[in-house]
Amino acid sequence: MRTYLKHIKRATAAGAVILAAASLQPASAFAAPAPQPTGSPQTRVVGGTRAAQGEFPFMVRLSMGCGGALYTKDVVLTAAHCVDGSGPNTSVTATGGAVDLQDSKAVTVKSTEILQAPGYNGKGKDWALIKLAKPIDQPTLKIAENDTFNNGDFQIAGWGADKEGGAQQRYLLKATVPFVDDATCQQAYGSSLTPGEEICAGKLTTGGVDTCQGDSGGPMFRKDDAGAWLQVGIVSWGEGCARPGKPGVYTEVSTFAADIKKAAAGLGG
């Protein structure tokens, strides 16, 4: 409840609906929807459609109800608000290698250690690393080391809710969202936004496409000039999901790239 209380504190004037809607808490329940036939893209969920098996092989689902990405084969990059602190920790299970969480080919591995971003207090700095007991043998996702690619259209993906208050998903969903600049995002969120540490994305005028509860910690990514996937964001927060005028807010990975690299090198194992 720590982050939730923090959020209440910083959104006092905003009203109870917003407080609940913009909570940083990860989702907890997992309810599988009925399997759907492939080949008929659904535009229900935050504008999402199903990802193909192997399309985003670095995606992992974390047992506390968050997403993450393989930074190395045995280190997951996720959100600080998805974890409780730093130190030895065997309580998290990461599931990788499958878009269907119930696929018999899905690989599950336990955590050994967690590193929450130093100085994290619920505003900005929303990143954390989870060391795994053994590697998940899938391609990893490079992180952006400068702001060159902090623009354009971004890919988002996750097993989180398909709409505000919606159920967690059995199958990985994906969508594309355009970059929203800091000034515009500040018009939506005022001082709740930490522009140097956060990057916004979403369909500002129409809404309809967004990450949502349970997607937290997952990557926002795009292609670099060589056509390789590059992580530019970490799902962090937003007011509700996919509301017009309320873009999704993501940890700005390039700001923390050096810290992440150093922290990953310092994990035990």
Residue closer to ligand ARG, measured from CB, 179 or 237: 237
- Is 237 near ligand ARG (CB under 6 A)? yes
CB of 262 to ligand ARG, least distance (A): 25
CB of 86 to ligand ARG, least distance (A): 19
- Is 160 near ligand ARG (CB under 6 A)? yes
- Is 253 near ligand ARG (CB under 6 A)? no
Residue closer to ligand ARG, measured from CB, 112 or 211: 211
- Is 238 near ligand ARG (CB under 6 A)? yes
- Is 122 near ligand ARG (CB under 6 A)? no
CB of 137 to ligand ARG, least distance (A): 27
Closest CA to 60 of 209, 260, 251, 234: 234
Considering only residues 171 through 230, tell me which ones interact with ligand ARG, judged by CB under 6 A: 210-216
Could you list the active site residues? Answer: 81, 126, 216
Residues that bind ligand ARG (CB under 6 A): 24-27, 160, 210-216, 235, 237-238, 241, 248
